[in-house]
Amino acid sequence: MCDYSLHLVANRPAKIEDKLVTTKFHNSITRGFAAVGQPNVAVCLLPGTEIAFDENVECEPSFGIGILSNKKIGQRLARFRQVNMDNPVAHHDALEFPDGQVVLVTRLCDGQRATVLQLPAGTRAATAEVAVVESQPHEPLHSI
C-alpha cells in the first residue's frame, strides 16, 4: 500500500528482490520507497512485506526535528505494516522491527537502501498462480 499522501505520485507494487531507497517525493508531504534508479515512482508495500536494509536504519527524531540528531534504530530487518487506520489523514505506512519498535515510513531518513525479501503469503500464492496461467498455452477465443 502507499500512504494517502502518495496517491498523486506514480506508483507500482513491490516485487521480491526489488532494490529500494527511502525518498522524499516531489508534490508530496511524505517519504516512501522508490526503486533504485526510478526516483519518481513510489513502490507500494503490502502489510507483512519483509525488507532488509543495507545499513542500520536511521529516522528523524519524534520531536525537535532539526534540533536533535537522527535516531539510530539499530536494526536492519523490518516488516511493513499499517497503523492509525482509524484516522484517514494520519500517516499509515510503518515498519516494525524485530525488537518491537514501530517507525512511520515518513520519518525514515532519505537515501537508505533496502531489498524486498518476502511478500505476504497470500500475495506470493496469487503471483505464482498468475505466472503458471500466463505460461500455459492459450486457446483462441471463438465468437458464437
46-83 pLDDT tens trace: 999 999 999 999 998 766 556 667 888 999 999 999 99
Q: Is the pLDDT of residue 144 over 70?
A: no
Measured CA to CA in angstroms, residue 128 lies from 45, 104, 124, 144 at distances of: 18, 30, 6, 32
Helix and strand totals (H; E) in the chain = 1, 11
List, as one string, the DSSP characters of 24-75.
EPTT-SSEEEEETTEEEEEEEPPTT-EEEESS--EE--SSSTTTSPPEE---
Over pLDDT 90: what percentage of the chain? 54
25-39, 62-76, 78-92, 97-111: least confidently modelled range? 62-76
Residue 14's SS3 state is coil
For the entire predicted model, the pTM comes to: 0.78
